[in-house]
Amino acid sequence: MTDADKDYPGHAHARAILDNVRDAIITIDGDGTITHFNRAAETMFERKAADTIGANVSELMPEPYRSEHTRYIGAYRDSGVPKAIGRIRDVHGQRAGGEVFPMELSVAEVISGPNPIYTAIIRDVTALRHATEVVRERERLAELGAIAAKLVHDIGNPLSGLTMRVEHMRRLADTPDGLPPEKLRASLDHVRNAAASMNALIRGFMDFARGQRLQRSKVDIAALLSVIVDLWAPVAAQSNASIVLDTGQGLLFVHADAEQLQRVFHNLIRNGVEAVAGGCGKTVRVSAELSDGRVAVSVCDDGPGVPANVDVFHLFETTKPGGTGIGLAVAKQIVSAHGGTISHRPRAGGGAEFRVELACGDEIEGPRA
């Protein structure tokens, strides 16, 4: 029992509880200075309470949050708009040895006013994430086995057709008159198109089979979407349609693999553009917003809508003559690897809406000034 505990017997009881819970419990003041660091926090962050109390809480975070955190606390104090407070957040911490780990964070404001005190309860979810990844990997391998047979079938058929056509051309080449140029051209076009579609199938399959090893960084969703929209806008314009981008005023960040996310939104926006092509619709609307602490991106079109009975996220499921049916299967795989969700529903008034939700990447930072 410390001297303070003798003065306030309730303290000893509270301290015993704090030091025996499995979650890390850290108390900070309004400047972010750590005032209490329980035993579980010592284990989790590999730091002694005696060396940590008095330090700034940003020391427990990886970059870029570490450098920015103090500014965010100040912004919160000034604006009073909580972001990290009152919710469970998926964020990252950093141990003294440098290891960055995933954690669930919930912050409560214990005392408000000019000298506020916050309590953060932190759960290390490294083991949980690892277990989830192992299960996902096993499921993926099982699925790969089943679809390999389908791939052989889907490539085997056009390949034997292709071989027969080339043999036919070869035979005709040996006849006195050979092949008339227009027939030769048509046959070569056929060969080229069949080869291109098989190539697309194989590439898409490789995307799927590769699995998703994520290289996460802080990604500005609005900037990422704007690059993709610019790329597809001219294609939409060819069908007299347009793509509208609405990402609101605030900055939306996710902690994600930018390249992989780009592929997700490429697929969704391309599907939207394909849905409105040929006069089937007028507009593809891409929007991003903060929804319940998550970043929600919606890609909405006024095309014909998803046909009934089409399991859009299933590998090789396609209703398009030149489609591979891989786009959304890969998109789902990438979004799941990020711990996010992807879904679709009919758009009111006709068309389809696809929605991706990802954990917000700047939750630990608090609001922007």
Ligand X SMILES: Nc1ncnc2c1ncn2[C@@H]1O[C@H](COP(=O)(O)OP(=O)(O)OP(=O)(O)O)[C@@H](O)[C@H]1O
Is 272 one of the binding residues for Mg ion (CB under 5 A)?
no
Is 312 one of the binding residues for ligand X (CB under 6 A)?
yes
Binds Mg ion (CB under 5 A): choice among 38, 58, 260, 271: 271
Q: What DSSP assignment string belongs to 277-339?
A: GGGT-SEEEEEEEEETTEEEEEEEE-SS-PPTT--TTSTT---STT--S-HHHHHHHHHHHTT
d(CA 270, CA 299): 10
Residue 168 or 314 having the CB closest to ligand X? 314
Is 324 one of the binding residues for ligand X (CB under 6 A)?
yes
Q: List % helix, strand, coil for the chain (3-state, nearest 5).
A: 50, 25, 30
Interface region with Mg ion, contact rule CB under 5 A, candidates 35-43, 150-158, 162-170, 319-327: 319-327
Interface region with ligand X, contact rule CB under 6 A, candidates 142-150, 179-187, 244-252, 268-276: 268-276
Is 267 one of the binding residues for ligand X (CB under 6 A)?
yes
Q: Please choose which of ligand X, Mg ion, none residue 324 contacts, taking the beta carbon within 5 to 8 angstroms, the exact cut-off set by kind.
A: ligand X
E strands present in the chain: 24-29, 34-37, 88-94, 100-111, 117-124, 217-220, 242-246, 253-256, 283-291, 294-301, 341-346, 352-359
Interface region with ligand X, contact rule CB under 6 A, candidates 73-81, 145-153, 160-168, 271-279: 271-279
Interface region with ligand X, contact rule CB under 6 A, candidates 6-14, 24-32, 98-106, 318-326: 318-326
Is 333 one of the binding residues for ligand X (CB under 6 A)?
no
Binds Mg ion (CB under 5 A): choice among 93, 327, 351, 366: 327
Q: Please choose which of ligand X, Mg ion, none residue 317 contacts, taking the beta carbon within 5 to 8 angstroms, the exact cut-off set by kind.
A: ligand X
d(CA 140, CA 149): 15
Interacting residues toward Mg ion by CB under 5 A:
271, 327
